[in-house]
Every structure is written in C-alpha cells, then in structure tokens.
Structure 1
C-alpha cells in the first residue's frame, strides 16, 4: 500500500489505483471523500426483506458511487434502532450485500463503499458480543488477551460485511472529569501503546495479514491529545507543549500506525489553538511523512463543518481540512463543496487526488476493488490444536482479569459463607445490567441482561437468603442490620435511554447517565449521595460490608474505602461482568487487575497523575495527600515479593544501547500466582524537568509456587535515560516493588548490578 500506482490486493491481484484514479471525474473523486449518511437511515425493513431508501439512492446518484457508509448496523438510543426495527445478526450479510451491490451498480467503475461501524469494545449492533470497556482492558495489563478479544470482534464484524471498525485507543486519561475516560486504556503512554498495538494486530493480523482471512481494518481514534482537554471538558483545547505531546499522547498513535492500522480519526480538540482536523503538521508532517502512515485519515463527526467558525465558511473549512490531510469526512456538508473549491484552485484539486487515492488504496488492501470481491476465509483448526475460545468466553475472561481489589481489611474477601444466612444487596447499580456495559453499546435482549443481583441470586440463592434492599425504602436500616453480609454495588452508568437527548454527533445532551460522551463532571464524588448511603449502611450493621464500584471514570472513593471492609473496582466489565465480580468475591478467581489510572482522594485536587513532573503531595493545605490509590495498584488474595532488581549492559555489538533489567519475584504460596511485573524509572540528566516516575516495562506472568522467578526485560537506553538524543549523560533510578537501583549512562559505561 505504499505506492499510489500499483497496489497488491489481498489475493495478490495487482490493482492499479493510479489508473483507476485517472478515469474518475472530479465529482466521483469528491464522492469518495464524503461519508455523509447515517447508515441506519439508508435501509428500511419491508415485509419479506429490506429496501434502500430514497436518501441512499440520491446520494449514490449524486456522486456516481459512495466512498463510505457509517453505522449501517448501529443500534442504540441515538440511532433509534432497537430489536423492534433494527438489523438482526442473521440479516447483516444480506443488508451489506444489498448496499454494496447498489453502490457498485451506481459507480461507472464498480467501486463499492467502505462499510464503517463503531466497535470500541464490541460491535455496536444488535446481537454482537460486547466486551469490557478500554479502561478495564487497561486494568488487565494484558496485551495478549486484548489481541484475542480484538480478533473475535473482527471476526463478527467481517462476517456481517463490515470493512472498517472505529476503535477508541489513542486517548489518555489525563483528567477524570472527562466523560470519555472509559474509552481510554489509562493514563500511561507505554501501557496505552502496547494495548493499541495488540488491538491493531488482533483485528488486522500482524502486518495486516488477517485482512484477507476475516479481519477488519482499524480506524484508531482520536488523534491527538483529546484526553488533555482543559478541565476535562469534551473536545476542548489541549494546552500542552510539544514535549508533553510527543512523550504522552503520541506513543499509542505511533505504535498503532506502525502496527499497520489502515485508518486514523482526527480528534475534535485543538492543540495550541490549531484543530486536529486542520493541522498539517500533525496529519501530514508527523503522521504521513515522519511515521510513513499509508492509510486514510477520517475526521470525527461534523468536525469539518465546525471549522467554519474558524475559517469563515464551509467551503474554506473543507479546503483547510483537506490540505491538512483529512481524506474522509464524517456527516459533514463541507466536503460536498470540494468540487466547487477545486475548480479555481489547482492545489485543492491535487489534494483531492491524494485523498481519493488514500481511500481507494484502503479499499484495495481490503480486496474491494477486485472484480470478484474477496470473501473472508474460514480458518480451519487442527483437531489436536488448543480449543479456540468463544467471544463470550473471552469477554468474561477479560472482565475477571480487569477487576481491581482496592481494600481488603481483616481479609474480608474472599467471602466465607458458612456463617452467612442473609445477604442484603444495596446500591444504585445492584439490579442494573446496563450499568455494567459502558457507552457505545446496543440494547441487549432481556434474557441477556444480567446484574450483580441476578448473579448473587442465581448462584447463592439456594444457600442463603438474598434481599435486594431499596436505597430509599423505609426498611433500609432494619434490613441491613439483620443481614450477615451487606453487598453495596455503587458507581455510575453510561447507559443511554431511548428518551434521552443527543447532539448532532451523538453525544449526550439530556441524559440520566453519569458518564460517557457528553457527560463531563465537575464533582467526582459518587453521584446521587452514595457516600451518605454507605454511611447509613455502616451505621446500621456490624456485619461485613463489601463495596463493588461500577464506574467508567476514577471517582473519589475516599469514604467508600474508609467505610467498607473490602472494596472491588469493577469498571464497566461488560455483559459477563456480574459473574466475574462474583467469581472474585467468592475466591473462585484471583483479583488480578491493577489500576491503569490514579485514584484521587479529593475532588478538588484533580487532575493528579503518577507521571506528572512534580508530586501533588503536600501542596494543598486542605488535601495534603491527594492520591488515594496509585497507578499500578492492586491487592491480591495472595502476594508476591520482589526480592531482587538487577541491571547490566546487554551483550554484543548493541551493548551500549541495550540494558538488561531483571526483576526477581518470590511466590511463597503453594499455588501458581498471577502477577503483573511493573518497572518504573525516575530519569534525570535530560533537557527537561524529570517526571516523578515513568513506567518503562511491564509483563503479566504466572509465578510457580514456592520459588523465586526472574523476569527479564531488554530495554533501550532511549527508554531508560533522558537526553540520549542530545548526547547527554543520564542517571536513572529504577523501581520494582520496594526495591530500587541507580544506573548511569555513558556510551562507554557498564551498568550497576546491585540494589
């Protein structure tokens, strides 16, 4: 896909994109750059099948084809599609073929559309397998498992005729007030980069190899620094310098594009006043020229039209975005004016050719430009091979692996039920199945909805009495007082109701949700007086009180941890999350998750990040310790101990640029122990003020029982030391567990190998 003229299709067929481009009219080229329609409005259900709407036919006729079609299968409150009128799983292939054939027939060159769908944690379509949100994936610290989950999502998408998946991956959780915190892998650039790479390779295959055998192309969003919006306000300015931009917000994007992602979505926000979708230094100078990106750049929904407030007109907005490097618009009117803009501007005409070439090359690599379109191959599995996990099994496994034990006083967990006769289940999320799902999800069938209360009743109801106690009921105190165990399911929800209001890009306007796109919060305490609810429960009972926090952002949990005997952070663990929570509470699974973000201790102290350049401790007179739980934190029912931390120069010709770091961990228990090895650095000697700590390496391992296990990382000098590019001498302190080691960097140095 590197050259405009001559692209190898997925079957090795030579597709000459340059020649195809030369035969297209200006209007046809501009049509390839427009993605204006809401897909759910393009198909109508009729008795005996489906038919295409007049709006769809008019758009195809207008442009002599169609570049892309968004949200054909989307079902949610914004689209209005549900199980009553939406496209069911068994109907997707039929509808995709109907649309594709119509576009091919309407194109003089037989060019089909890209079918584009939202898939941030599973396809946003009826009957699709949903997965835990990105924040949960971050809490798993498991790129390998995420790659398996992404592969399963891709298989479902491609089987339904989808070509491109829009997937959140590039945003960092820099401010917990931001409603889209759940879409982030966390606050650390290395963790986000590794998970983004895994996501791309899972969906597309290593080196895009799976695009020929059932994978889908990935469009990574949002590029760039959207998580840095002032005050945690969605789409607001990112006020940061080039150093923080490159060190924090670009590693995930670079990892994803170098892994072969075929698309990138330009974000809403501006950086130093320049909107991302109008930023040639970002979209062309960095993305294409420096990183060698050869895919397409898509604008976020209505983003190009919004540039008119800066440029003065929609026509100039379109020209500005196009020249910056945006290939494909999303729901905009501005790009319809490109034909007019190109008539008296050769530079715009040249940019249209470039952008159209990018769209056509992506279609080619997906096999869509061949006379006989590629059908996904069915992968044959050898009978003796390890069983392939189903998508549902993978979703449940990721949910279990993402749960973080924040507090466990007097070893309240795992629960011992021998003396328990009655459990009181309280809290606003106790009976809610939708609260477990997160944003960007379709409606579930009633039989697929499962709350924590459902799981407790089904699995424990024959052994103990399970009472769901209404939070505002008169019997609350009496019921909690009589219980032998109180389970409080707290937190928030990103669930959108069909009566909610929405902006023109689908963000919430009037909603009961407390998180998600369009739901930024100024107050990070648990909503709805939940701290007071927990105080009531604590005052009423001396029995064990266990809190489960279902949330898509880092709330202030200071009172929760103080009042509850044990607290489990569940995030949004998905449709199989209720049973995952119960597995951990009962000790049928270990609490393996580790925080991918910092938990604040006070709502007025945010944002606090572990990798800031100066610590926040001791700064606020009224909140001297603003961090409640640190990035990377997570308790287990059993613990490992770091007994050694060593660093020495690598061997061979690259020894001067390679440092081998070994962490020795002891598992004193009699069973294998899952653990996340984390290595941090404090790097001095560079040209900028050092960060307090930076994650430089991590790995999920299983420690054999009763042994000390060495875990080795081979790290570059550039990762471990500041100022290597400037030729500076550096000094770094490495941390693992309670141990640290100090190492120095000179081109001729060896490294200290003692703690």
Structure 2
C-alpha cells in the first residue's frame, strides 16, 4: 500500500560525514585546474573506449588520449551499452562474462593516469533494465505505471542495481521525472504516466530500490541514480521533443517539479538537466531551476548532469562553445555529457574568477559522489572509513544470481502491467478449439521491448502467437489475414496483436545524441507524431476480420504511447492494453487471454476518442466534454480506467476520520469477490472547492495495489489537511472518491 499524498517524509539525503568531506577537501586542494575540469567532463562514448583484438579486450587510442589529457577521467558513459546506435551486438559486444574484466581494465587505466589515483564514474543507461548484452529488460515505465505498484518498482530497482553493481557500474541513468502531458511526444514510454502523484511515488521507489533507503546501499550492492529529465520535458509544445515548455509557475510546481522533489527527498545522487526550455530558458541554463529551486530550496547535494550534447546546444544562445560551457556551469550544471563546451572551462576559469569558483564547487560535488562510491583513495584509510575502498572489491557480487532475480521480477511486472479495457478479462477462457492469432505484431518480440534496450539473444525470441501455441491449439499458417482467410472458418476465437513499436534497426540512422532519424519505429526518442490514432490499416484489419467471422475477437494493444482506439471499440469483443510489457510480455498476454492470470492493472494515462482533442488529462481544471462540436465526448478511456470482472475484489466502503487536528485517515474496505480473492488496485481521488484557485477536476490522493483475500481487506492512508484543502489553506471542502459509487465530502478539520 502506497501513499501518493503530499506531506512527504523528511529528505533522506544522507549528508557525507566529516571523514568523506575531509578526503574531498584534501583531494580538491591537490588537483590542478586542468584536473578539476577533467572531473567535470564525460566526453567519450564508452563503447568506443575499448575494442577486441586477438581475442582480448584492449583500450583504444582515443580513450588513452582522453585519460592523458585530463590526468584521469571524470566519468565514462556507456562502456557496456549495446544497441543499434552503439552498433554493439552479440557478435562484437561485451557479454556478461566480460563486463567486470572490461570495467577493471578501464578503471586501472584511469587510476594510473591520475596522480591521486581517482577512479572514473562508470555510467550506464538503465531506464528499464541495464542496456547491456545480457542485461535484464523490464517493462518500460509507462507499462510499469499501469501496475500502480511502487513496491514492485522498488524491488525491480534493487534487482537491476545488483546487476549493475556486479558488473562494476557506479551510476545508472534512469528515466522517471518526466510526466506525460502530450501523447504526441515519442518518449512517452519513459514516463510513469500523466499523474504527478503516480510519477512521484514511482520515482521514489526507483531511487530507494537502486540506492537503498537513505542511500544505505551506495557502495554496498547498490548504485547511484541520476534521475532524468529535469524538468517539464513532458510538457513540450505540440509533443515536440526538447522544445519549449510553455507553462505557468503553479503547474510547473505542482506537476513537473513534484517527481523531482520526491526523488531528491529519497536521496537521488544526481539529476539530469533536460533539453527543453521553460518559457524560453533552457534547463541547462536555468539558474533558478538548477540552483535556487533545486539546491537552495530543496537542499539537493548531488550532481547535475547535462543531457547528451545539451551544453553545446547553448552555443546558439551564448554565441560560442566557450560561452555555452560558462553559461551551463554558472547556471548549476556540474557534469557534461559528450560536449566540447565544458572542455573550454580551463581557459575560461583563468580569466574569470566566478568560473574558477564554480569549477571548484562542481568538482567538490563530483568528488564527494566518488568518495561515497569508493572511487577516491584516502592516504590513511582510518581517516575516511570506506572511502578508500577498491571499487571492484564488491563483496558478494554475483551477476548470475542478480540476473535470475531480475528476470523473476520482470515476469511479474509484465503480468501486473496488463489492463483490460473492454469485454471479458480473459476472453479465451472456456473456449475450446483452435485460435487464430493475427496482426502486425502477432509474431513480433521486439515490439514489447521499447526504446533504450539491448538486443536479446536469439533463444529468448518469442511472440504472442508462440506463447498461445504453448497453451492451446493455434491455427497453422501465416499471420496475415489476406494469405489465410479460410482459417477464420475454423477458428473458435481470433486474437489480433496491434499497436506500435520502438524497435531500432542496426541499419537505422541516428542523430549525434542517439535519437533515431529514419526508422520503422512508431515510438521512442526522435519519433514524435502529429497523429496518434491507431494506424488506419490496423483499424481496417479489425473490421475485415470482424466481417469474416462471428467468433470472439480479442484485440491486444502493444504501445509506448496513449493511442486513439476509437475505430476498434465497436468490432472488438475485448481489448487488452499491454504497453511495452518487456520480454515476458508475450507470455503474460497469453496467460491473461486464457485465464491463467486475471489482469488488474489500470491505465496510467487518458485515452482520447479523437487525436484533435489532445491534450486532455484527468487533473485539468476544466472539462473537455461538450466543448468540441465534432467530438462532444473526447475521452474514450479515463485515467485509471480498467475493466472489473465478475467476482473480482472491489471497493465497498470509503470513510474519512480526523484522529488529529491537521491529519485525516482515509479508510477503504474491499470485498474479496470470489472465495480465493484476487488482486486489486485502489485509487483515491480528490477535488477541492473554495479558495482562490480554480480546482483541478480530480487529483490522485492515494493509491495501492493489494492482494485481497476472499474475506475482504481494509486499508488506510494518513493525509494532511494540506493534502485535502490545498497549500493556500483557504479551501472549504474536498470531495473524495474511489469510483462513482463511493464518495464522501470532507468539510471540517476536527
């Protein structure tokens, strides 16, 4: 059971002790200006730092030159990354058995180049599992959000961190701060949905899972987390990636800064400044965002990393690369990513005292993080317990065990992420005879994996068609309708697998920051769309199949963005939303269709009836109904929508009590449904009235995913008066509800 209310617990930022601060201060005093600037740079694409020659991994000349240039290296990005952009595959990439060897090779060279033996931060992408060969792949964030289960996300974060730790990795780059406000944006799959409350709790779970509560597992089986992207990237105008977010201060604070505040309170050691600008000011050049709000107001003590090449993009604003580096540093960026602008800080600092001081402060923060991770060597280990540890003496690190654990969690997450939208929850249960499985993604594996994913080994390939075939007879023949129309006369049911994919091909072209240029993908970075309707040929296929058979027709939607599904609502007997459920997605879908598992997930987004109504959200201040003359009912499936099956646990009571003057207790009781009970997601919504601000139509106040026994279950949340009546403290009432049947109004604070 998880709180989504405001009034979050005290920040667990675990300030460094005097021992670490002493080590950092001494190290900083001994570094030259060039070495300090080197600690702020992360220029290399890590997969270009090593190569295999004669059956052995060796360092490249480019890496050795970089280490010599700065007498060490601040951070190295993506040494183990494997995907279409890096070009690394199972043929030439770094396999699981080679990871530690390669990272140790790199670290030995970095320490050897540094007069103070400072190691590099080994930084890897882990938006939904480690993006390395053999790295366990999880469902993407949008699918994880559909579980409404932060405890599961916390457990997944811990498991992925164990994989990373066992591989010698120090820092994970993890999406989790973006709130999806426009489905046209291609990176919607990286978001935990459209609700700031849901996204904030999931962000907390990621940080606590990967770092431990109060950073307790840093340097001891956990890795540091740089949460991205900061801030308001999900609000970019028209859903255009990295462009202007035109948003007022109130919505910025309440929607887009809330996940960041929660990540900071959970102890995240880093945030990544986003590409977009907010009302014209780029995030990487925004001192109010990166310094005033983040450090002075929220007490953040970690590092701010720029997104890839974001510093150099400031040259259009600052006039030169040198000006771009200065602007980003003085605004609050501590570490660049692949940029040239930060390399110019040596020359700039000689001439500009403000830059010299800012270099010292940024370097201090980087060194503090390295000390926590065991990358600084203390002259006297007794003076800094733990800070002088060798980075690779990782006691108990067992990659194989970690991967098995993460696979188990990935399979569970795939099942929990499924959302039944219409019709029977398990449409094939009780139906005998063969099933026809068709559609563009019926025999596709990659469509379930999302963007930022490494290739799976060939033996892991499967599909919905293959997984259903393990459970019941599936009609032989091609998956295409035109090639085998006669099969429909034999089919007892038809399953259509539709939607989209974020698959990247090794033949694709990429921008300098890795975004796809020409690609078959329909979602992901660099794939913004003006029209998010289900493709016309897929809608046409549903209608043609419907015309060819009277058998039950089940549609599975695999997608990384909220698609408009209006065209298939009528012909389909049931619709199952699967997001990008990960490598175990096909098996989870087969289980749900046949009744081996009853889906209990909820939509983390609003599905609209018409693409022209974008954007609309559950927490808007004004309704969208009866506004458009051509689409008077613009919402097809509301945020948190799901199909409740007969006998599934359901809410039967909602009450609010005031055990304290300024704190209320919300109590919800669920009946158990069938004798064996089942899973249920409980979501409590609120709408304030009174005050000086137009209230939102609904706000997610509290939620949890529960296993409900047959006799039923009671759950409760403690919330503050501010949660109910607003921070301006002049609200007069608050209506709460879990569904249309269970509502109550709170008007006093006894």
Question: Which of these residues, 608, 611, 620, is aligned with residue 619 of structure 2?
Answer: 611
CA distance 1:319–1:356, change in 2 (3 Å): same
Which residue in the other structure is 1:209 paired with?
A: 216
1:153 CA drift (Å): 0.5
Instruction: Using structure 2 for the length normalisation, give the TM-score.
Output: 0.94
Question: Which of these residues, 734, 738, 750, is aligned with residue 736 of structure 1?
Answer: 738
- Inter-partner Cα distance in structure 2 for 1:73 and 1:393: 23
Which residue in the other structure is 2:486 paired with?
A: 478
| Partner SS for 1:316 | helix
Which residue in the other structure is 1:688 paired with?
A: 693
Q: Does 1:446 align with 2:483?
A: no
Q: Is the 8 A contact 2:235 2:245 kept in 1?
A: yes
Question: Which of these residues, 170, 179, 189, is aligned with residue 196 of structure 2?
Answer: 189
Q: Does 1:416 align with 2:425?
A: no
CA distance 1:357–1:689, change in 2 (3 Å): same
Q: Give 1:295-444 correspondences, 5 Å limit.
A: 295-370=302-377, 371-374=388-391, 375-378=393-396, 390-408=405-423, 411=424, 413-420=426-433, 422-444=434-456
**Looking at both structures, which has the greater relative contact order when contacts are Cα pairs under 8 Å and sequence separation is at least 6?**
2
1:643 CA drift (Å): 2.5
Q: Does 1:262 align with 2:279?
A: no
CA distance 1:482–1:308, change in 2 (3 Å): same
Which residue in the other structure is 1:577 paired with?
A: 585
1:593 CA drift (Å): 0.7
- Inter-partner Cα distance in structure 2 for 1:8 and 1:619: 63
1:685 CA drift (Å): 2.1
CA distance 1:727–1:718, change in 2 (3 Å): closer
Question: Which of these residues, 282, 291, 299, is aligned with residue 292 of structure 1?
Answer: 299
1:417 CA drift (Å): 5.0
Deviations 1:448-507 (A, max 9, x none): 1111112122332xxx243354436343x3323432211100010000000111111000
Deviations 1:513-534 (A, max 9, x none): 0000000111111236100111
Q: Is the 8 A contact 2:429 2:595 kept in 1?
A: no
- Inter-partner Cα distance in structure 1 for 2:667 and 2:404: 33
Deviations 1:398-447 (A, max 9, x none): 00001000011xx4724235532x22111111111111100000111110
- Inter-partner Cα distance in structure 1 for 2:738 and 2:675: 23
| Partner SS for 1:51 | strand
CA distance 1:406–1:112, change in 2 (3 Å): same
CA distance 1:520–1:331, change in 2 (3 Å): same
Q: Give 1:657-672 correspondences, 5 Å limit.
A: 657-672=662-677
- Inter-partner Cα distance in structure 2 for 1:105 and 1:558: 62
Number of residue equivalences = 723
Q: Does 1:718 align with 2:733?
A: no
Mind listing any 5+ residue stretches in structure 2 that lack a counterpart? 1-11, 378-387
- Inter-partner Cα distance in structure 1 for 2:514 and 2:16: 38
Q: Is the 8 A contact 1:514 1:527 kept in 2?
A: no
- Inter-partner Cα distance in structure 2 for 1:537 and 1:629: 24
Task: Decide which moves more: 393-402 or 693-702.
Answer: 693-702
Deviations 1:632-681 (A, max 9, x none): 1112433334332211212xxxx221011112222332121211111101
1:241 CA drift (Å): 0.6
Q: Does 1:649 align with 2:658?
A: yes
Question: Which of these residues, 233, 248, 254, is aligned with residue 226 of structure 1?
Answer: 233
Which residue in the other structure is 1:566 paired with?
A: 574
Instruction: Using structure 1 for the length normalisation, give the TM-score.
Output: 0.93
Q: Is the 8 A contact 1:7 1:361 kept in 2?
A: no
| Partner SS for 2:693 | coil
- Inter-partner Cα distance in structure 1 for 2:63 and 2:243: 34
Deviations 1:255-291 (A, max 9, x none): 1111111110000000011000101111111111111
CA distance 1:388–1:175, change in 2 (3 Å): closer
| Partner SS for 1:288 | helix
1:232 CA drift (Å): 0.7
CA distance 1:87–1:624, change in 2 (3 Å): same
- Inter-partner Cα distance in structure 1 for 2:273 and 2:536: 35
- Inter-partner Cα distance in structure 2 for 1:468 and 1:263: 52
Task: Decide which moves more: 582-591 or 325-334.
Answer: 582-591
CA RMSD of aligned residues (A): 1.9
Q: Is the 8 A contact 2:13 2:268 kept in 1?
A: no
| Partner SS for 1:181 | helix
Mind listing any 5+ residue stretches in structure 1 that lack a counterpart? 381-386, 751-755
Task: Decide which moves more: 343-352 or 666-675.
Answer: 666-675
1:372 CA drift (Å): 3.8
Task: Decide which moves more: 559-568 or 79-88.
Answer: 559-568
1:212 CA drift (Å): 2.9
Q: Is the 8 A contact 2:426 2:598 kept in 1?
A: no
- Inter-partner Cα distance in structure 2 for 1:428 and 1:511: 16
CA distance 1:531–1:5, change in 2 (3 Å): closer
Which residue in the other structure is 2:166 paired with?
A: 159
CA distance 1:6–1:398, change in 2 (3 Å): closer
CA distance 1:7–1:222, change in 2 (3 Å): farther
Deviations 1:323-371 (A, max 9, x none): 1110000000111101111111000000000001111111011111134
- Inter-partner Cα distance in structure 1 for 2:96 and 2:500: 30
